[in-house]
Structure 1
Amino acid sequence: MLEKIRETAAFLKQKMHTNPKTAIILGTGLGRLANDISDSYCISYKDIPNFPVSTVEGHAGQLIFGKLGGKDIVAMEGRFHFYEGYNMKQVTFPVRVMNELEIKTLFVSNASGGTNPAFNVGDLMIITDHINFFPEHPLNGPNIGDGPRFPDMSEAYDKGLIKLALEIAKDKNIAVQQGVYLGTQGPTYETPAEYKMFRLLGADAVGMSTVPEVIVANHCGIKVFGVSVITDMGVEGRIQKISHEDVQKAANASEEKMTVIMSEMIKRS
């Protein structure tokens, strides 16, 4: 695995003419943030050695290098999911490559269902913690790289970055929520009973991604900031039938607010 990570990183370094220290993973319906990246150049996943290929509608499937907030960044326009049939080593492979490229900060975004009755569709939720409900752990097997065998997860989402995001949201008059994200494997959306269970477990939002990448980022020593766009409500009396298209549409509507916060965070950090 380490050999493949280094091979992929070496290939990308040959193609890169920027020096990003910040990476962004764009979730479902959130790919339009890529339009705000200036001086950009792209590398398709299918052209990158050892990289999986995104199969989900709304995930373009490319790495974008350029500037956001006046600083060099790299963005994944499309991520990989456990439900696509990839194992956790494949799902989190890009984060391992980011570490090899000396990325120091990772921004993760996703579309999720709200289980907190105080939330509404379109809300941005800054992730303060997560619950891992995936059936496979991304650190199973031999320990990869120099990370600890038993990583501490008491601050999976960097408190300093959360504080900065809240300050920016206040400055820009953007309403945000805070809460716990629960990651489950999908690909079905949750039943009303599952939503209720997840709320009882302490989740404010639930989705099908993010947690594996965040675990591996912490294992690598990369600081993480996460945000969920609430695209549907899993609260009794407010549950409606939902489709992937509905999720994309709701995420698109909130993307501008997320872009403002992330861009300013990168600029100030």
Structure 2
Amino acid sequence: MNAPEKAAAWLWKRSPLRPALAVVLGSGFARVAREVVPDAIVPYGDLPGFLPSTIPGHEGRLVIGHLAGAPVYLLSGRAHYYEGHSMETLTQPVRALAAAGVQALLLTNAAGGIHRQLRPGSFLSISDHINLMGANPLRGEVPPGRTRFIDLSQVYDAALGRLMLRAARAVRVRIRSGVYLAVSGPSYETPAEIRAFASMGADAVGMSTVPEAIVARQCGVRVAGLSCITNLAAGRSPRPLSHSEVLEAGARAGEEAARLVTSFAAAFARAEQGSPRRGSGPSPTVMRSSRN
């Protein structure tokens, strides 16, 4: 039994709940945890393959409970590539969730706004991403039952994206769909880089989410992505960027973030009740060979 399978077995022992939905809380989304009615709370250090969180704003624990009446795994915080972890290590929680039977994964993060309409306090429903982290989490050994060359033409599930937009309208939260660009960090971007990213079609920039999304798709898990815009990207504001600014802006947007994620969970539960539960195997659409 590998680490993800051990973690899944551990979760099953802690709670009889078998959630189809998991939510990863990034910076700016900590308030969501207060909305969960917990059945069990597990520190990351107790779970095989999970890394303790060292970044302010990331609690480092997994909550099993109900959000808006829907069973959910809530991951309060994540490990980051810039902390020195390997891609394989920091994506182990996603593999554990897939092993536990999760069908859909909502990845949240704090991001810098590149698009002129994305101001601090607004939200971006991620429709696609650009990976400029300089690494891919699928590099190396292929886990049993998975394929190496997965198709990423639809990383972010279109139906879940529409569900997110409807959830936002229901609670009157400002949101738009767009492209998230991931860099490795930890330094913030230069104004020249932001101009380049804008020319590539990026709407927001951050330092997470993409590795988890790629691994989730390899595991056959549907993905939704949500960014809380906590600052204007470099060159868009006269003020220097800082992590304290990100945390402060995230705290101000916390109530709206909680309403939005809670609304999404409720909408997801309603949609699941009206459709058969999907399997947890890898996506059937795969590339059969690498690009030379």
- TM-score, with length taken from structure 1: 0.95
RMSD (Å), alpha carbons: 1.5
Matching residue's letter, 1:171: A
Alpha-carbon distance between aligned partners in 1 of 2:102 and 2:55, rounded to the nearest angstrom: 26
Hey, what does 1:229 align to over in structure 2? 228
Higher mean C-alpha deviation, range 249-258 or range 92-101: 249-258
Give the alignment of 1:131-210 within 5 angstroms.
131-210=130-209
Hey, what does 2:276 align to over in structure 1? none
Alpha-carbon distance between aligned partners in 2 of 1:29 and 1:169, rounded to the nearest angstrom: 16
Higher mean C-alpha deviation, range 39-48 or range 210-219: 39-48
Shift of 1:71: 1.2
- Which 4+ runs in 1 deviate beyond 3 A? none
Q: Which runs of 5+ in 2 are unaligned?
A: 269-292
* Residue 50 to residue 165, structure 1, CA distance change in 2 (3 Å): closer
Shift of 1:239: 4.3
Hey, what does 1:53 align to over in structure 2? 52
Q: Which secondary structure does the structure 2 equivalent of 1:139 belong to?
A: coil
Q: 1:6-37: per-residue Cα shift (whole Å, max 9, x none)?
A: 22222222222322111000001321210000
Give the alignment of 1:84-123 within 5 angstroms.
84-123=83-122
Hey, what does 2:24 align to over in structure 1? 25
Shift of 1:193: 1.3
| Alignment check: 8 A CA contact 2:190 2:234 kept | no
Hey, what does 1:3 align to over in structure 2? 2
Shift of 1:235: 6.0
Alpha-carbon distance between aligned partners in 2 of 1:29 and 1:102, rounded to the nearest angstrom: 27
Identical aligned residues as a percent = 37
**Alignment size in residue pairs:** 268
Q: 1:188-232: per-residue Cα shift (whole Å, max 9, x none)?
A: 111111111111121110000000000001111111111101111
Alpha-carbon distance between aligned partners in 1 of 2:136 and 2:236, rounded to the nearest angstrom: 34
Higher mean C-alpha deviation, range 170-179 or range 224-233: 170-179
Higher mean C-alpha deviation, range 60-69 or range 250-259: 250-259
Hey, what does 2:64 align to over in structure 1? 65
* Residue 65 to residue 170, structure 1, CA distance change in 2 (3 Å): same
Q: Which secondary structure does the structure 1 equivalent of 2:179 belong to?
A: strand
Q: Which secondary structure does the structure 1 equivalent of 2:74 belong to?
A: strand
Q: 1:94-153: per-residue Cα shift (whole Å, max 9, x none)?
A: 000000000001011000111112221111111110001112210001221323321111
Are positions 1:130 and 2:110 aligned together?
no
- TM-score, with length taken from structure 2: 0.87
Hey, what does 1:15 align to over in structure 2? 14
| Alignment check: 8 A CA contact 1:187 1:208 kept | yes
Higher mean C-alpha deviation, range 167-176 or range 154-163: 167-176
Higher mean C-alpha deviation, range 161-170 or range 60-69: 161-170
* Residue 239 to residue 185, structure 1, CA distance change in 2 (3 Å): farther
Alpha-carbon distance between aligned partners in 2 of 1:213 and 1:238, rounded to the nearest angstrom: 30
Q: Which runs of 5+ in 1 are unaligned?
A: none
Alpha-carbon distance between aligned partners in 1 of 2:75 and 2:234, rounded to the nearest angstrom: 31
* Residue 173 to residue 188, structure 1, CA distance change in 2 (3 Å): same
Matching residue's letter, 2:231: D
Hey, what does 1:242 align to over in structure 2? 241
Shift of 1:53: 1.3
Hey, what does 1:41 align to over in structure 2? 40
Shift of 1:237: 4.8
Shift of 1:244: 1.1
